[in-house]
Chains A and B, each alone.
Chain A
Amino acid sequence: MKLTLRRRQILWAYAFLAVSLIFFVVIRWYPTLLAFNISFRDWNVFQNNGPWVGLQNYQDIWSDLFKQRSAVRAAFFNTLRYVIIGVPIQLALGLMIAMMLNSIGRAAGFFRAAYFIPYVTSLVAVAFVWNWLYAPQTGLINQLLLALGLPMQGFTKSPQQALYSITAVAIWASLGFTVIIFLAGLQQIPDVYYEAAQIDGAGRWPIFWRITLPLLNPVIVYLSVLQTIGFLRMFDLVRNMSDQGQGGPLNSTTTVVLEVYKEGFGSYNMGYAAALTVLLFFVILIITIFQLRVLQRRVEY
């Protein structure tokens, strides 16, 4: 049988796609549906096909949200706090540093590398280095405070300070990425805009508000969405910076993903854990759709 050229091309295309198609169906789509399925069951990995319990897991989450001492309640509120504190500070610092880097010539390459280093290192190692810096009594930061005559702090050991101490490390660790993306955005703003503004006698401040910020708008939206999703998924740092990795002290640092891990792989309460991940999925979905909507209104210039 003779195949036409077009037929042959189609066969080649399917052959090229075959392995990947199987991968996406078996490793992505099927598990996604399975996650929904498990969230409606009383599931334990070692006794497959746990009984169907309908919305029970979701009802449990809902009632846990109103229990004062529940770790899941703490996890929801903490995660919200990580996002609300972490994202704005991360973006503001990132933009400031990127603008400073963009305005200097000498040593800009060195500074760029310095800010980027933590981004390529493992968050587990980062967590331990900061545990040591934060250590009560013997840690470097408390020793500096002591030398300056200031009171020592508990940092990750204090229920009031732990969340902020971990947020600071999270910002520190991914600042380099934010700086690089902002830097790319700044370099895309044509010089003529600045030159024209200077000829018009505009000061630095109006130039920043009227030119830089509006033209960076797509980058700002993109980064805030990316960072929001990043903080919503906080796990590595909390797991390695809180006592015994349980999100303490007094549940003050635990996150939704840490609770997924504890419920699903500590207590093997997998139906409940799956229900938590389904909720996380919907939150991320809404944020992503929001981003797509906003970014479609492209700034034209």
Chain B
Amino acid sequence: MTTSAESNAERLLRISEQVAAKPPRRRTRFSWLTALIYLLLSLGAVVMIAPFVWMILTSFKPGAELIDFAFLPRNPTLDNYRLVLTTSSFGRWYFNSLFIATVSTLSVAFFDSLVGYTFNKFEFPGKTLIFLGILATLMIPTEMLIIPWYNMSVQLGWHQGNMQYWGIVFPGVITAVGIFLMRQFFDSVPNELLDAARIDGMHEFGIFWRIAMPLVRPAVAALCIFNFIGNWNAYLWPLIIASSREFYTLPVGLSFFRGESTTQWEKIMTGASLATIPLLIVFILFQRQIIKGIALTGLKG
């Protein structure tokens, strides 16, 4: 199915662009089958969206209204938000999540690209061995590494004080998936272009940074999106390594938040809304790029 002129990377990019593209406006004649499909899809969409709508509506209700089972809040209030924001450390958790996801994404974008580029454009002794050594780590589940990581972190003091930021971030600063993905994408950068720059006397890092990198921007963007969402939502490792409240990320903070207000659903839903709404807005704004990014990284093989 692949034409010989098209590299694997170009094919992946085309597929993921296609899947995220605005669907063609096909003029379909009315048929009962189409009507049934729309009905089923709409029912499904309600099941997907309704929980979020209910979450947001609940967050605007005074606690006493919860047992009324009215759909809309009768006396909408921001008290829950005021209370949650003043009594918990949500602001700090936002900052932590944002900081950690940004740092790890920048690092991944740089190192994964650099390593992917090296494997694609350079010949050196041990190349295959090193590449397989990196690729093989894909088979090691994070769950197996958390105990050794925790031991290393305790020895080095990464579970205390400001070092907790590093403790949360360090396992994800370089990823094998990203290296694998980027290695394929540097295929689309012609070697002649790099050689021309070499003749002009540009040094190798400059060639990578100023000539090759701008040409693989769509792949880097996809990698960044995928990585940012993954780190923003990461739970198991931050839960283990962040020992003090000020260093929780949003998911960790939220999970402990439950214990503090066990049956006060309006407060819990306010916390859940605070944790989800920013991402929902980002998703609605960049829907197509995000779907493309996930499809691209998901399809990589």
Q: Which A residues are closer than 8 A to B by beta carbons?
A: 9-10, 12-14, 16-17, 19-21, 23-24, 27-32, 34-35, 38, 45-46, 48, 97, 100-101, 103-126, 128-133, 135, 138, 140, 143, 172, 175-177, 180-181, 183-184, 187-188, 190, 222, 229, 233, 235-236, 239-240, 245, 257, 260-261, 264-265, 270, 273-274, 277-278, 280-281, 284-285, 288, 295, 301
Contact = CB atoms under 8 A, between A and B. Distances in A.
Given A17-B118, A123-B251, A277-B143, A45 B235 contact: no
Secondary structure dominating the interface of A: helix
Given A115-B45, A184-B15, 16 more contacts: A13-B123, A23-B111, A27-B171, A34-B151, A104-B23, A121-B280, A123-B251, A126-B51, A128-B268, A140-B54, A177-B298, A180-B294, A235-B143, A236-B235, A277-B146, A281-B139
Greatest chain A CB density within 10 A among B24, B40, B272 is at B272
A181 B149 contact: no
Nearest to B229: A120
A280 B111 CA distance: 29
Interface stretch (B78-86, B130-138, B184-192, B216-224): B130-138
Secondary structure dominating the interface of B: helix
Nearest to B287: A113
A128 B19 contact: no
Greatest chain A CB density within 10 A among B205, B232, B283 is at B283
A109 B26 CA distance: 13
Given A29-B137, A129-B54, A132-B55, A123 B154 contact: no
Given A184-B19, A235-B235, A125 B254 contact: yes
Contacts of A119: 294
B125 to A, nearest CB: 7
Nearest to B97: A122
Nearest to A143: B69
B290 A120 contact: yes
Contact of A278 (B144, B173, B179): B144
A153 B118 CA distance: 58
Given A13-B122, A16-B115, A184-B299, A270 B147 contact: yes
A119 B54 CA distance: 18
B1 A10 contact: no
A141 B281 CA distance: 27
A257 B239 CA distance: 13
A46 B154 contact: yes
B72 interface: no
8 contacts: A13-B118, A17-B130, A21-B130, A32-B144, A101-B41, A106-B25, A119-B294, A180-B294
Nearest to B170: A27
Contacts of B67: 138
A176 B140 CA distance: 25
B155 A48 contact: yes
Contacts of A183: 19
Nearest to B69: A143
B122 A12 contact: yes
B120 to A, nearest CB: 11
A233 B141 contact: yes
B140 A28 contact: yes
A132 B54 contact: yes
Contact of B255 (A120, A121, A124): A124
B236 interface: yes
A215 B127 CA distance: 35
